[in-house]
Amino acid sequence: MLMLSSLAVQAADIPPTDVQIAGAVLAAPAESRPGAAVIGRNAEGKQVTIREGKNNMVCLATDPAKPTFNVACYHKDLDPFMARGRELTAQKVTGAQRVDARFKEIADGKLVMPKEPRTLYVLTGDSFDAAAGKVVNSYLRWVVYTPYATAESTGLSTKAAEGVPWLMSPGTAGAHIMISPPKPKAVAPQAH
């Protein structure tokens, strides 16, 4: 059984393309999975498109160098924003600097952000059991990007709270509604 877990992996340990795709698309709605584009890792560990898309969904495979499973799928209209975030991260620009850089590029007209709401799905877990097609201790949350939305325009709180939607980054190009259901209790791994 192939498990992506807490061991750091070398480029030679990159999971096969079909395993990367199988895990990545689990964040997407079931009807969007077959046609979703998937960005994963090539044999050298570089992020590349490993499956072209046939619908409006783009999915990111988990980083095999990370200790836990973390995939995301988003509407293709968010791709310029997300791709720029990946570029900045590769340049070691992270945190508030990365956020500020993208917001400035949007304000300057250099980066396009959709005007209407677009959704991001994030699925995390302890590991991915490729043979079973299941994420161990999975947790799915949703992010609905609503550029320039405010508490006043949405009626949402700007205070983070588990189990209720709230508005993050209000009034900015990256304003988004966070929907994080309560986390389920973790299940201990079964011995084989």
How deeply is 152 buried, as exposed, middle or buried, from its count of CB atoms within 10 A (0-12, 13-18, 19+)?
A: exposed
The pLDDT of residue 11 is 54
Distances (CA, A) of 106 to 77, 80, 167: 14, 10, 20
pLDDT tens readout for residues 69-114 = 999 999 999 999 999 999 999 999 999 999 999 999 999 999 999 9
pTM given for the model: 0.87
Residue 3 has pLDDT above 50, yes or no: no
Token code pair at residue 170 = 């209000």
- Show contacts of 82-86: CB within 8 Å, 24+ apart: 82/58, 84/111, 86/47
Q: What is the mean pLDDT of residues 45-73?
A: 96
Q: Which has the closest alpha carbon to 72: 14, 5, 11, 145?
A: 145
For the chain, what is the mean pLDDT?
A: 91
Residue 7 has pLDDT above 90, yes or no: no
Question: How far apart, in whole angstroms, are the C-alpha atoms of residue 118 and residue 53?
Answer: 17
pLDDT tens readout for residues 150-186 = 999 999 999 998 889 999 999 999 999 999 998 877 6
The pLDDT of residue 20 is 97
Give the type of residue at 184: P
The pLDDT of residue 161 is 86
Question: How far apart, in whole angstroms, are the C-alpha atoms of residue 68 and residue 122?
Answer: 13
